[in-house]
Structure 1
Amino acid sequence: MPFFPDLLKRIEFSVLMAAMIIAGGAYGFVELTEIARETTPHTFDTRILLAFRTPGQPDNPIGPFWMEEAVRDMTSLGSAAVLIFFTAVVILYLMIVRKPAAALFVFVSVAGGQLLSSVLKLGVDRPRPELVSHLADVHTLSFPSGHAMMSAVTYLTLGALLARIMPNTALRIYVLGVAILATFLVGASRVYLGVHWPSDVLAGWCAGAAWAMLCWLIARLMLRRAGDIDSSTPAET
């Protein structure tokens, strides 16, 4: 049956990877939701959270004296103000270079991710961890981590968009690597500051990555038709 080999040849590797991330992210989020709904903290959560504190001193984070302030700077990369700024800059640039479809894709992906994050928080009424002191002000529910989810949505969306116009594979890997690194630093900073359980952050990453890749798959055909992104890679032009 030649149909299936021909079908696999027509499917790009990037599309397969995106589909795997969506499926894996959705599955991971569902599993982590069960942990978040438990009445007592999971051993996985407590061990990692306490690992960021000096033994026997839940108010004292590990690391040198300047670490706490540095981590607060890292966590600001996932704040609403910073993400809105980066998103607005990219959307404005895309409008200036007359790529309205790409600009709409960025807006819908980020705005939709924010709406989804708010809905998911209401679905699991999980309080913030009380096992250690909070080193940052927080006022919302704990699951999933909004910082982790929105940094994944924003940075992965922008990274995937920029990677499409990079002239070679090395630059595409670099751009996506920076996006992943920024997402990781934001999520890890939330655990270090004691404002999220590790499962909150993992769930945020899962949901954010799945949403970003879903938007990318949906927008991929639209962007090609609109001419905002070439259907061929730079090496083929």
Structure 2
Amino acid sequence: MPAPIPLLDIRAWVVWGRDHVEAATLAKVGIAAAAIYSFFAIAGEVMEGETHGFDSYLLLALRNAADPAQPLGPTWMQEVLRDFTALGGNAVLTLITLAVAGFLWMQGNRRSMLLVLAAILGGFAMTSLLKLGFDRPRPDLVPHSMTTYTASFPSGHAMLSAIVYLTLAVLVARVQTRRSIKIYLLTTASLLTVIIGVSRVYLGVHWPTDVIAGWAAGAAWALLWWTIASWLERSGVVEKEITTEPKSVVGSPAS
């Protein structure tokens, strides 16, 4: 029986992981760990008040210098950003999650559907707990362009959009046959997450560090559930990921 690895021997754990865990899984866990570390590093700075200068500078940089109550750009831009920010609201995210769950059900991927619902519901719960735990006040430098009801840190829109869109993209991409569709899903989810987060700062309802921390926590959550999906797949619990594209059908030459 091999000797146990000392708990603090990082090098030994890396060697063990390289020998016993797939490289892709190690990469996912490593990136997720880096995202989690980033979240708590930002949270620590926020709680100590060290980010106020950075937050204030970026928030005011998106405002008219002559009148900080007015965001930069034409009036219609505020409406556009309100539309984008709505894509990260609880109602929209719930509808999208249910729509994707229904799609997986109709495809026959029932276990993947349950995995999606567990990941998203857990993400909603985690976001609420973090907001209650940190209880950071909303920005007071500029007027809010939207009504807010909860604490500021982390940004619920940024975190939940990352959780929902990235998790759905990853888990739905698993059961798609074409690589181009997988790439499209992941790229679209990433762009949506970024746009929604930026809109929250532009509208004055979040500090920039709220959004950055939300992105980090949401990305970590999506990566961890991607890893869980891979493990459940190897265990035969959920459907296998489809990695081969369908062969093109070539018609027979005309006689």
TM-score of the alignment, normalized to the shorter chain, above 0.5: yes
CA RMSD of aligned residues (A): 2.3
Which of 18, 26, 30 is the equivalent residue of 1:20? 30
Offset at residue 168 of structure 1 (A): 4.1
What corresponds to 2:128 in structure 1?
118
Structure 1 residues 227 and 141: alpha-carbon distance in aligned structure 2, compared to 1, 3 A threshold: closer
Counterparts of residues 100-119 of structure 1 (less than 5 Å): 100-119=110-129
Structure with greater contact order relative to length (CA < 8 Å, sep ≥ 6)? 1
Deviations 1:53-88 (A, max 9, x none): 001312100011200000000001100111000100
Q: Matched residues in 2 for 1:47 and 1:11: separation?
A: 43
Contact 1:129/1:195 (CA < 8 Å) preserved in 2?
yes
What corresponds to 2:69 in structure 1?
59
Which of 14, 29, 33 is the equivalent residue of 2:43? 33
Offset at residue 21 of structure 1 (A): 2.3
What corresponds to 1:77 in structure 2?
87
What corresponds to 2:231 in structure 1?
221
Offset at residue 227 of structure 1 (A): 4.9
Q: Matched residues in 2 for 1:218 and 1:165: separation?
A: 15
Contact 1:148/1:208 (CA < 8 Å) preserved in 2?
yes
TM-score (norm 1): 0.90
Q: Matched residues in 2 for 1:195 and 1:115: separation?
A: 21
Structure 1: any 5+ residue segments left out of the alignment? none
> Does residue 1:142 correspond to 2:169, yes or no?
no
Percentage identity across paired residues of the two chains: 43
Q: Number of residue pairs matched?
A: 232
Q: Matched residues in 2 for 1:213 and 1:83: separation?
A: 19
SS across alignment from 1:60? coil
Q: Matched residues in 2 for 1:161 and 1:39: separation?
A: 38
Structure 2: any 5+ residue segments left out of the alignment? 1-14, 248-255
> Does residue 1:96 correspond to 2:138, yes or no?
no
TM-score (norm 2): 0.84
Q: State the one-letter code of the partner of 1:73.
A: D
Q: State the one-letter code of the partner of 1:57.
A: D
Mean Cα deviation higher: 95-104 or 144-153: 95-104
Deviations 1:149-174 (A, max 9, x none): 00000001111123223434433222
